């Protein structure tokens, strides 16, 4: 019987909040929009970029939001190409991934990142080879729609009952519930633990050791 652990990326695997907030501020300026609140930007991490912009700039015109989306993509790509993008893995995450893979778990990612951004992130940290399925907002509706998880399960040949989603936002928990997948929250990301529990998370891990124990339950 195959088992799968599917991770969110930003706020779960890696901490990219500074780059995300700074690039979003630049994108808003390029579209001549008032600067967004950084805390609100953090809370939108995980959604697809167009959907995040609709939440962050509800009164903007569609043209302004499209300009902001393109400016964000360009700015983030510029950071990555220049080598100045900072997306560190959370402490202990690389070792946890190694242990899960060694224990026979199939691993996947379901993220609001683009294909290019996710591949670059995982390549930078030398962990992409551990993941058998990578699902992004480029090819699916935004979270909390279950399409990314459904495709991950299909590619891995895993039943929903034998999978677990790991995420830091209610978008991740809602997506997991919609797909019939067990959900575990992490406390080091962008939404509060109580929010994750209220959304239906089985539990919220404070440490990598706790996360590993919860996954194995």
d(CA 175, CA 146): 5
Mark whether 32 and 111 lie in a shared domain. Answer: no
Mark whether 37 and 93 lie in a shared domain. Answer: no
Tell me the average pLDDT across 75-98.
Answer: 92
pLDDT of 1 strictly over 80 = no
Mark whether 112 and 155 lie in a shared domain. Answer: yes
The band of 85, judged by pLDDT with boundaries at 50, 70 and 90, is confident
pLDDT: which is higher, 181 or 217: 181
The rounded mean pLDDT for the chain is 95
- Residue among 10, 15, 168, 174 flagged as catalytic: 10
Tell me the average pLDDT across 112-116.
Answer: 92
Mark whether 56 and 163 lie in a shared domain. Answer: no
Instruction: Return the half-sphere exposure (C-beta side, CA atoms, 13 A cut-off) of residue 117.
Output: 28
d(CA 107, CA 104): 9
Mark whether 27 and 9 lie in a shared domain. Answer: no
Q: What percent of the chain has pLDDT over 70?
A: 100
**For residue 48, what is the domain's CATH number?**
1.10.150.240
- Residue among 8, 168, 172, 174 flagged as catalytic: 8
Mark whether 94 and 37 lie in a shared domain. Answer: no
**For residue 146, what is the domain's CATH number?**
3.40.50.1000
d(CA 112, CA 188): 18
Range of the domain at 107: 4-15+87-216
Q: Domain count of the chain?
A: 2
State residue 136's pLDDT score. Answer: 96
Mark whether 78 and 95 lie in a shared domain. Answer: no
Q: Which structure tokens are listed for 30?
A: 């390029």
Residue 91 annotated among the catalytic residues of the structure: no
The last residue of one of the domains, among 82, 102, 123, is 82
What pTM value is reported for the model? 0.89
Q: To 10 degrees, what angle do helices 62-82 and 17-30 make? A: 130
pLDDT of 80 strictly over 90 = no
Residue 8 annotated among the catalytic residues of the structure: yes
């Amino acid at each position: 019987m195959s088992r799968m652990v599917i991770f969110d990326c930003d706020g779960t695997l890696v901490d990219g909040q500074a780059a995300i907030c700074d690039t979003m501020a630049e994108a808003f300026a390029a579209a001549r929009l008032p600067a967004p609140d950084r805390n609100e930007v953090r809370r939108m991490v995980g959604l697809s970029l167009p959907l995040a912009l609709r939440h962050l700039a509800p009164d903007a015109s569609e043209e302004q939001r499209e300009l902001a989306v393109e400016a964000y993509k360009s700015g983030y790509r510029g950071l990555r190409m220049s080598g100045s993008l900072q997306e560190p893995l959370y402490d202990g995450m690389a070792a946890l991934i190694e242990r899960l893979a060694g224990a026979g778990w199939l691993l996947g990612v379901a993220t609001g990142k683009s294909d290019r951004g996710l591949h670059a992130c995982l390549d930078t940290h030398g962990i992409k080879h551990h993941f058998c399925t990578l699902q992004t907002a480029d090819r699916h509706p935004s979270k909390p729609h279950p399409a990314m998880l459904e495709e991950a399960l299909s590619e891995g040949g895993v039943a929903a009952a034998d999978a677990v989603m790991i995420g830091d936002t209610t978008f991740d928990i809602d997506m997991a519930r919609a797909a019939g997948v067990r959900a575990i929250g992490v406390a080091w990301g962008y939404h509060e633990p109580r929010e994750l529990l209220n959304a239906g998370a089985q539990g919220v891990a404070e440490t990598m050791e706790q996360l590993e124990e919860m996954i194995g339950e």
